[in-house]
Amino acid sequence: MIGYATLGTNDLERARYFYDNLFDIIGAKRSGESDRHTLWQAPSGGSKLGVYIPFDKKPATNGNGSMVGIHVESIEMVDALHTRALELGASDEGTGLRVEGKYYMGYFRDLDGNKLNLFTVI
């Protein structure tokens, strides 16, 4: 249903470095880019995640209540990605079982303060 989700950035090169090094764990690669954006997509295809310098030329800000969820195949993959995000400078928003133990999730904020959730179904 979702074709892509975008996050704002004020430093595109820093965001590219962060997401290139985070997504190499799951084999996601850049699938499109310009002087103001980059998109990544998993090897299996499907939806994309992008970082963009805002079109209106105002500073990028993170949305209160906004979050992007990234589904992965295992608890180990959630932990590996979450750990990598923190190593790359992200801030920790917690990990663990959620929704009556049906999901294992790892939350973090990227270098621009955007909130992401890595999750797997138990």
> Mean pLDDT, to the nearest integer, of 104-121?
97
pLDDT tier for residue 14 given thresholds of 50, 70 and 90: very high
> Mean pLDDT, to the nearest integer, of 91-106?
96
3-state SS, residue 89: coil
28 exposed, middle or buried (CB, 10 Å; 0-12, 13-18, 19+)?
buried
Q: Which residues, including other chains, have CB under 8 Å from residue 94's CB and lie 6 or more apart?
A: 106, 107
In 34-74, which ranges are continuous DSSP H helix? none
> Mean pLDDT, to the nearest integer, of 9-23?
98
**What local confidence, expressed as pLDDT, does residue 2 receive?**
85
Q: Which residues, including other chains, have CB under 8 Å from residue 23's CB and lie 6 or more apart?
A: 29, 40
> What are the structural domains, with CATH classification, of the chain?
4-54+66-121 (3.10.180.10)
pLDDT of 1 higher than 80: no
Q: Give CA–CA dist 109/15, Å, rounded.
A: 12
Strand partners, 48: 4, 41
Identity of residue 102:
K
> Mean pLDDT, to the nearest integer, of 100-119?
96
To the nearest whole percent, how much of the chain has pLDDT over 90? 93
Digit-coded pLDDT (tens) for 31-64: 999 999 999 999 999 999 999 999 998 999 988 8
Closest listed residue to residue 112, CA positions, set 52, 61, 59: 61
